[in-house]
């Protein structure tokens, strides 16, 4: 099971950087710093990186996403937010035998081909899907949030994949957001990247991803660790408390 999502990284506001990376527009004139868009494919069980792509924010997530599809394998279940529910993208994802569980806009009109307990058959372009309307409660350190979700999946067998179990499964999509939190807050320290040219920014992001992956591998392979890989903290994974510790 894998999750796909995007985020942004902040880079220095230098003339060289601005030749490739731009500031985001906003209510107050922009972000203040240029940004890089990062899109990653993450294994939900371990939060390890499977693949990643990055570039200017002038290119959207759904344009970057096809570059990650060669890393999908038959039998994988891809979890994604509603931004990735484009018909062409879903068709490309399923072309190699991967399955999809993606959120749709709740008001999106879907044709009803057949009804099953808790779901109904429909289509997204050329792809046949099951649609599940459900209520999902997400618990974080800030509290609980309950919302109405409309999910679409290519797992069509309602006996083998009951609607309730798929709604619960979708909660695992948050693992990619937790991975970004670890990457940006615990490793990067919420700071702006240091490199001041586009070429050096590329190298710095590659290094950042390597450090993240090494830290994830250390968690997974540490002997005697009783914590599930996706639940381990950076201090557990790194095993370091002195200078140079990964936090």
Cα atoms in the Cβ-side hemisphere of radius 13 Å centred on 58: 8
Q: What is the DSSP string of 16-46?
A: HHHTT--BPP-TTSS-SSBEEEEEEEEETTT
Mean pLDDT of 150-168: 96
Confidence (pLDDT) at 231 = 53
Could you tell me the domains of the chain? 2-197 (3.90.350.10)
Confidence (pLDDT) at 239 = 33
* Cβ-based neighbours of 18, under 8 Å, separated by 6 or more: 34
Are 93 and 100 in contact by the 8 Å Cβ rule? The answer is: yes
Confidence (pLDDT) at 230 = 53
Q: Residues of 74-112 as b/e, b for ≥16 C-beta within 10 angstroms?
A: eebbbbbbbbbbeeebbebbbeeebbbbbbbeeeeebee
pLDDT at 185 over 90: yes
Banded model confidence at residue 143, pLDDT cuts 50, 70, 90: confident
pLDDT at 226 over 50: no
Q: Please, which residues bridge with residue 194 across strands?
A: none
pLDDT tens-place string over residues 21-77: 999 876 555 558 999 999 999 999 999 999 999 999 999 999 999 999 999 999 999
Query: pLDDT above 70 covers what percent of the chain?
Result: 86
* Cβ-based neighbours of 91, under 8 Å, separated by 6 or more: 125, 126, 127
Query: What is the rounded distance in angstroms from the CA atom of residue 232 to the CA atom of residue 46?
Result: 9
């Amino acid at each position: 099971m894998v999750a796909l999502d995007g985020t942004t990284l902040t880079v220095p506001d230098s003339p060289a950087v601005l030749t490739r990376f731009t500031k985001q527009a906003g209510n107050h004139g922009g972000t203040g710093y240029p940004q890089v868009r990062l899109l990653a494919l993450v294994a939900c069980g371990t939060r390890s990186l499977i693949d990643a792509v990055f570039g200017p924010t002038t290119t959207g997530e759904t344009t970057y996403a096809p570059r990650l599809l060669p890393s999908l394998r038959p039998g994988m279940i891809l979890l994604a937010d509603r931004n990735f529910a484009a018909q062409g993208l879903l068709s490309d994802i399923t072309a190699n035998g991967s399955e999809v569980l993606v959120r749709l806009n709740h008001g999106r009109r879907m044709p009803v081909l057949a009804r099953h307990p808790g779901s109904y058959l429909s289509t997204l372009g050329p792809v046949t899907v099951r649609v599940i309307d459900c209520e999902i409660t997400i618990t974080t350190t800030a509290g609980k949030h309950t919302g109405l979700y409309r999910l679409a999946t290519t797992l069509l067998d309602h006996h083998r994949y009951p609607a309730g179990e798929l709604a619960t499964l979708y909660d695992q999509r948050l693992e990619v957001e937790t991975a970004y939190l670890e990457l940006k807050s615990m490793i990067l320290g919420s700071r702006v990247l240091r490199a001041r040219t586009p070429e050096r920014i590329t190298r710095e992001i590659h290094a950042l991803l390597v450090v993240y992956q090494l830290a994830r591998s250390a968690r997974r392979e540490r002997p005697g660790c009783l914590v599930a890989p996706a639940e381990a903290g950076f201090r557990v994974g790194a095993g370091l408390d002195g200078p140079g510790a990964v936090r």
